[in-house]
Amino acid sequence: MANLLLSPLEKMYILHGVRDDCRSDGRTNIDYRPMELETDVVSHASGSARLRLANTDILVGVKTEIDLPNNDQPGYGKLEFFVDCSANATPEFEGRGGEQLANSISNMMQKAYQSSDAFDLKQLCIFEGKQCWKLYIDILILECGGNLCDAVSLAVKAALYNTRLPSVKTALLDGGNVDLQLSDDPYDNKLLNVDLAPLLVTLCKIGDKFVVDPSAEEENCSVISLIVGATGNKTNYNIDNKKNESCTDSKCTTIVMNGSGSLAPKTLKNAIKQGIEAVQFLDQALGQALLRERRENVTMKKYSYGFLK
Amino acid sequence: MPIDYRRFNGPEDSVSYKQYTKNFLKSYEELCNELIDENEHRKDGRALDEARTMYARTNMISQAKGSSYVELKKTKVVCSVFDPREIPNKNEFSPLGQIYCEVKFAPFSCPRKRRALVPDAEEKDLSLSLKKALEPAVCRYAFPNYQIDVFVYILEHDGACLAGAINAAGLALANAAVPMYDTITACSIAVIEDKLYVDPTEEEEYVANMTPAKEGINHGIITVAMLSTLEQVAGFTQLGSMDGTCVINATEILQKECQNIVPIIHQILVKDVIHNIDLSEKLEKEAKLREAALNENMEEWKKLLSAD
Amino acid sequence: MMAGNVSIRLASERVNPSVYSGAVLPRFYTPGEVISGMKDYMRGHGTYAEDDCLKASVAGVMQKVNKLICIRPLKNRYVGEIGDVVVGRVLEVQQRRWKIDTNSRLDSVLQLSSVNLPGGELRRRSVEDEQMMRQLLQEGDLISAEVQNVFSDGSLSLHTRSLKYGKLKQGILLKVFPSLIKRRKNHFHNLPCGISVIIGNNGYIWISPNVQDVTVQEQKDEIANSDLQPVNQTDRETMARIRNCIAALVTSKMMLDDTSITYAYEESLKYESVKSLLDPEAMLDVAFLTQHRIKEMTQE
């Protein structure tokens, strides 16, 4: 949102606020604004989620298709990210206006999910070397009110958590071709293992300090931000909520500096540590919300809210 | 062949012949073990923490305002910088100048596949990373409403191409006399099986990006661009999967490596200036000689004329 | 590092922000709906005449002033009236005038001749003044002003020729629907909690720390310095609390004036931390309690 204007004194107020750890809406530098999440909102997608973070509104749909595995990775499936910056969000996105932003977000997601520590592509294999699932993850930005990356990564993880692949009844090799039979029963499906899927945290440098979840006004006051992507934690998505399971540390899957400024090496190192910690809190909150929703689902209490109301 | 956008272009169905060689089917462990011998020496004889020697020169392209050529053994990069020009299609005043970067691989630059002429996602991503790294280095207030074009062409890719591109671009910008706050240098590191490979080759990068056999082992690539005198990190990208301490260790090593490149860049720039001074002195001397010769001639003619 | 506050709630846990006001629901008109015959009434905003009938052109409720009929939508842009207090942002510096964003349909204009020039005394505007315009107000600056005139196309001409108007210093700007602003005699309020609020008729609300009126010329340097001084921690927290209270009232679509804001502030004090007021349940609670107090007050 380039056309946001702020007066120098307003900027100064925000700057002092960050320095004193008391932002314009009373948050400290490490607080997120409340978010709202709903999964399974699009009926024709294998999995979907909608996330609202203040004014930022993200809708993610996962479509599954069957593809040939790559020659050098015969036992792996495929994952692709597409971002559409809808002109609904701001008229600036009209035409090719949002293309650059869309590309940078989809690139970042692709990088964050690249390692097998982040997402195991083996679970998308149907028949080694012959057939695999390909997940198209389409991210729609309906409204932007700052902090797009974090919101997108949360929505993507929720949508993948919600994704159901039809069960493969038989997959036989028949004269070089795969004879594939999928289950017709819509309830006969398998879920993906996305416990470790990464989340992105944007650390926005305002003055000498970093803040998480910057509002559009705060983003305007900053020349450099650091985006840290790190893996989630298994224990957060475990229904039994067993605490004794080994709590693995989050691993960085992608780190990118964004903006035209630079950072002192020491600041950078601190920010990376801060980012990894923030990912852990975020992942914990997401895990709790998703488990709560799944429980509602099991007890058949859940009904869809969708876009009305 | 250039692609015709007006028609639907099917997928290219030719594949590299290398896919049918034995090498291609090697497992992760085999590839991993190949990279290093029992004495911790890499394939090209370097130690793990040893960077390749850099060769660089300026004035590679005579018609550009500034240009450079950087070579890290088999990674070869050409960069040219052109005069600032007004930002095309701009609609509002921009108080800071802009930098437009384009990174392009030569079609034959990569060992694994032929590069298409149309920029792909990786090239776009490299261009963006290069732009973000250069922005804090250039005094952009000095040319408001103007943009500087930086074109990088990777002739041969044998790892660390982003670092090579940043080094080349920094050198070319200095060569083009674009005002800058500091010399910008970059270096990358590959993490494979918890080991750090400074200034990796393409093969090492390939393995670093691969999925390790066991879960939870650090792997990936980090590239850092530094403004060493100001002690500022201008660009930072990390890929793969590694824990926080590993990232921080690698960053510290890269910081030092970046500093090691600075004297090389300085030397080239100073030599450039000396060379130019020498050249102008030589030209001046020659001009004087020529003038003296002409004067002599004139005297002779005068004599001849007065003799008449 | 301490644990950051992250809350993700589900759509099924969403709270309905509407507060029952007890008032009788008015009749709603939709675009194209016939309001009445033409002959008895005059055509106002949000209506048009066709086939001898007066029809609504927006969805909203009817307002009747004598014979004038208007339809007021909830979400409209600001329609200015002479004498309104507005908060606006400078968009552009032009020849002898500034273009100001006031949330109206068209950008408003602030003439160089309708501002108080530094020095205070009344004098002719010179060429130097024209060249100094950007030093007075530059792009992005916020001002409070009064509507001086409404042009025939609906655009506004503003003036700041009073000490209470002019450039705004450090503070928070909040944008709400203009229709939620109650028209009052006074739109500048020094709240008892030590914070001043400018409730612009155009839906822009400015929250800033209460400044002592220092008008003595000698102290001018001091004033200039105090603009750059950081706002102290207690003021900052109170401002954030007021911001969140106003946001809570707006989410519940309640009218804004100094009373409702003060009530909401007082009710919000039971939530010790300011950031807990971002939670939808707390917001509803504050709005509900405020509504309750307003009702009690009107009954008395």
Q: Is B26-282 a CATH 3.30.230.70 domain?
A: yes
| pLDDT at B76 (0 to 100) | 94
Strand partners, A209: A206
**What phi and psi values does residue A53 have, to the nearest 5 degrees?**
-125, 100
DSSP secondary structure code for residue B141 in this structure: G
Q: Do A25 and C275 touch (CB under 8 A)?
A: yes
Confidence of residue B81 (pLDDT cuts 50, 70, 90): very high
Q: Which residues of A touch B18 (CB under 8 A)?
A: none
Confidence of residue A81 (pLDDT cuts 50, 70, 90): very high
Percent of chain C predicted with pLDDT > 90? 24
pLDDT (tens digit per residue) in B133-164? 999 999 999 888 889 999 999 999 998 899 99
Name, in order, each residue with C-beta under 8 angstroms of B59's C-beta and a sequence gap of 6 or more: B67, B175, B272
| pLDDT at C216 (0 to 100) | 45
pLDDT (tens digit per residue) in C126-184? 777 777 888 888 888 999 999 999 988 888 999 988 888 888 888 999 999 888 888 88
Task: Please give the Cα distance from A279 to B284 (Å, whole number).
Answer: 66
Strands A131-143 vs A78-85: parallel, antiparallel or unpaired: parallel
Task: Please give the Cα distance from A69 to A130 (Å, whole number).
Answer: 6
Q: Indicate whether C246 and C125 sit together in one domain.
A: no
Task: Please give the Cα distance from B5 to B117 (Å, whole number).
Answer: 13
Task: Please give the Cα distance from A187 to A201 (Å, whole number).
Answer: 35
Using the predicted structure, report yes or no on whether residue C1 has a pLDDT greater than 90.
Answer: no
Q: Which residues of B touch A257 (CB under 8 A)?
A: 132, 233, 235-237
Q: Among C168, C192, C219, where does a domain finish?
A: C168
Sheet holding C53-56, edge to edge: C34-37, C53-56, C47-50
Q: Alpha carbon A5 to chain centroid distance?
A: 29
| pLDDT at A49 (0 to 100) | 93
| pLDDT at A93 (0 to 100) | 79
Which H or E run contains A111?
Answer: helix A99-112
Q: Indicate whether C33 and C99 sit together in one domain.
A: no
Does any CB of chain A come closer than 8 Å to the CB of residue C99?
no
Q: Do C6 and A16 touch (CB under 8 A)?
A: no
Using the predicted structure, report yes or no on whether residue A167 has a pLDDT greater than 50.
Answer: yes
Using the predicted structure, report yes or no on whether residue B3 has a pLDDT greater than 90.
Answer: no
Task: Please give the Cα distance from B141 to B124 (Å, whole number).
Answer: 26
Q: What is the DSSP string of A258-277?
A: EES--B-HHHHHHHHHHHHH
Look at residue C249 and tell me if it is in a domain: yes
Q: Do B242 and A252 touch (CB under 8 A)?
A: yes
Q: How many CB atoms lie within 10 A of CB C238?
A: 21
Out of A71, A260, A273, the one facing B244 most closely (by C-beta) is A273
| pLDDT at C192 (0 to 100) | 86
Cα distances (angstroms) measured from residue B306 to each of A244, B296, B301: 114, 15, 8
Using the predicted structure, report yes or no on whether residue A200 has a pLDDT greater than 50.
Answer: yes
Buried b (16+ CB within 10 A) or exposed e, B67-96: bbbbbbbebbbbbbbbebeebeeeeeeeeb
Strands C28-29 vs C60-65: parallel, antiparallel or unpaired: antiparallel
pLDDT (tens digit per residue) in C202-241? 999 999 988 654 444 445 555 556 677 788 888 899 999 9
Check residues C37 and B302 and name the one with the higher pLDDT. Answer: B302
Q: Indicate whether C86 and C134 sit together in one domain.
A: yes
Q: Do A268 and B251 touch (CB under 8 A)?
A: yes
Query: Which of A6, A146, A220, A19 is closest to C171 using CA atoms?
Result: A6
Tell me the average pLDDT of chain B.
Answer: 88
Encoded tokens for B212: 């390790």
> Of A10, A41, A57, which to mutate for an interface test with C (greatest number of C Cβ within 10 Å)?
A10
| pLDDT at C218 (0 to 100) | 47
What's the average model confidence in pLDDT over B44-64?
Answer: 88
**What phi and psi values does residue B70 have, to the nearest 5 degrees?**
-125, 135
DSSP secondary structure code for residue B128 in this structure: H
Tell me the average pLDDT of chain A.
Answer: 86
Number of domains in chain C: 3
Sign of the Cα pseudo-torsion (A265, A267, A270, A272, in order) = negative
pLDDT (tens digit per residue) in B231-245? 999 999 999 888 888
Cα distances (angstroms) measured from residue C126 to each of B36, B189, C97, C115: 79, 64, 14, 13
Sign of the Cα pseudo-torsion (B294, B298, B301, B303, in order) = negative
Give partners of C (≥3 CB pairs < 8 A).
A
Q: Which residues of A touch C240 (CB under 8 A)?
A: 22-26
| pLDDT at B101 (0 to 100) | 93
Q: Rounded to a whole number, what is the distance in Å from the CA of B1 to chain A's nearest CA?
A: 24
Is C191:C197 a contact under the CB 8 Å cutoff? Answer: yes
Per-state percent for chain B, helix, strand, coil, to nearest 5: 40, 25, 35
What's the average model confidence in pLDDT over A31-49?
Answer: 90
Query: Where does residue A90 rank: exposed (0-12), middle (13-18), buried (19+ CB within 10 A)?
Result: middle
Encoded tokens for C143: 């001002």
Q: Give the orientation angle of helix A148-162 with respect to helix A265-298, to 10 degrees.
A: 40
Mapped onto helix, strand or coil, the DSSP state of residue A240 is coil
> Of A260, A267, A277, which to mutate for an interface test with B (greatest number of B Cβ within 10 Å)?
A260
Four-point Cα dihedral C196, C199, C205, C210, nearest 10 = -10
Comparing alpha-carbon positions, the chain B residue that sits nearest to A273 is B244
Percent of chain A predicted with pLDDT > 90? 34
Is C144:C206 a contact under the CB 8 Å cutoff? Answer: yes
Comparing alpha-carbon positions, the chain B residue that sits nearest to A253 is B241
Does any CB of chain A come closer than 8 Å to the CB of residue C135?
no
Length of chain B, in residues: 308
DSSP secondary structure code for residue B31 in this structure: H
Domain that holds residue C205: 170-300
pLDDT (tens digit per residue) in B148-205? 999 999 999 998 899 999 999 999 999 999 999 999 999 999 998 888 999 999 989 9
Using the predicted structure, report yes or no on whether residue B23 has a pLDDT greater than 90.
Answer: no
Query: Where does residue B108 rank: exposed (0-12), middle (13-18), buried (19+ CB within 10 A)?
Result: exposed
Lowest-confidence range among A218-222, A305-309, B137-141, C202-206?
Answer: A305-309
Check residues C225 and B221 and name the one with the higher pLDDT. Answer: B221
Between chain A and chain C, the number of residue pairs with CB atoms below 8 A apart is: 136
Using alpha carbons only, give the angle A214, A216, A221 rounded to the nearest 5 degrees.
75
> Of A3, A4, A9, A29, which to mutate for an interface test with C (greatest number of C Cβ within 10 Å)?
A9
Percent of chain B predicted with pLDDT > 70? 95
Mapped onto helix, strand or coil, the DSSP state of residue C300 is coil
Q: Which CATH architecture has domain A8-298?
A: 2-Layer Sandwich (3.30)
| pLDDT at C119 (0 to 100) | 64
Q: Which residue in the block uniquely carries the two structure tokens 């209470």?
A: C164
Q: Indicate whether C133 and C236 sit together in one domain.
A: no
Question: Domain ranges in chain A?
Answer: 8-298
Using the predicted structure, report yes or no on whether residue A65 has a pLDDT greater than 70.
Answer: yes
| pLDDT at C87 (0 to 100) | 93
Tell me the average pLDDT of chain C.
Answer: 84
Nearest-Å Rg of the Cα atoms of chain B is: 25
pLDDT (tens digit per residue) in A120-164? 888 898 888 888 999 999 999 988 888 899 999 999 999 999 998
Question: Domain ranges in chain B?
Answer: 26-282
Q: Do A251 and B236 touch (CB under 8 A)?
A: no
Q: Which residue in the block uniquely carries the two structure tokens 């695999």?
A: A132
Is C56:C30 a contact under the CB 8 Å cutoff? Answer: yes
Confidence of residue B254 (pLDDT cuts 50, 70, 90): very high
Mapped onto helix, strand or coil, the DSSP state of residue A299 is coil
Q: What is the DSSP string of C14-31?
A: PPP------SPPPPEE-T
Q: Give the orientation angle of helix B121-134 with respect to helix B161-175, to 10 degrees.
A: 50
Task: Please give the Cα distance from B222 to B235 (Å, whole number).
Answer: 10
Encoded tokens for B160: 């660390």
Look at residue C92 and tell me if it is in a domain: yes
Comparing alpha-carbon positions, the chain A residue that sits nearest to C143 is A7
Q: Which residue in the block uniquely carries the two structure tokens 């001002």?
A: C143
Look at residue C295 and tell me if it is in a domain: yes
Task: Please give the Cα distance from A32 to A278 (Å, whole number).
Answer: 10
Look at residue C21 and tell me if it is in a domain: no
Strands B195-198 vs B184-192: parallel, antiparallel or unpaired: antiparallel
Query: Which of A229, A242, A237, A235 is closest to A278 using CA atoms?
Result: A229
Residue B117 half-sphere exposure toward CB, CA atoms < 13 A: 5
Q: Which residues of C touch A294 (CB under 8 A)?
A: none
Task: Please give the Cα distance from A294 to B33 (Å, whole number).
Answer: 45
Q: Alpha carbon B6 to chain centroid distance?
A: 34
Length of chain C, in residues: 300
Q: Which residues of A touch C241 (CB under 8 A)?
A: 26
Q: Do C9 and A27 touch (CB under 8 A)?
A: no
Q: Which residues of A touch C275 (CB under 8 A)?
A: 25-28, 31
Confidence of residue B9 (pLDDT cuts 50, 70, 90): low
| pLDDT at A240 (0 to 100) | 62
Is B44:B38 a contact under the CB 8 Å cutoff? Answer: no
Is A151:A141 a contact under the CB 8 Å cutoff? Answer: no
Confidence of residue B120 (pLDDT cuts 50, 70, 90): confident
Look at residue C11 and tell me if it is in a domain: no
Q: Which residue in the block uniquely carries the two structure tokens 């679970």?
A: A123
Mapped onto helix, strand or coil, the DSSP state of residue A50 is strand
What's the average model confidence in pLDDT over A76-98?
Answer: 84
Q: How many CB atoms lie within 10 A of CB B279?
A: 10
| pLDDT at A189 (0 to 100) | 84
pLDDT (tens digit per residue) in C55-110? 889 888 888 888 888 888 877 788 888 889 999 999 988 888 899 999 888 899 99
Lowest-confidence range among A98-107, A300-309, B287-296?
Answer: A300-309
Using the predicted structure, report yes or no on whether residue A118 has a pLDDT greater than 60.
Answer: yes
Q: Do A26 and C233 touch (CB under 8 A)?
A: no
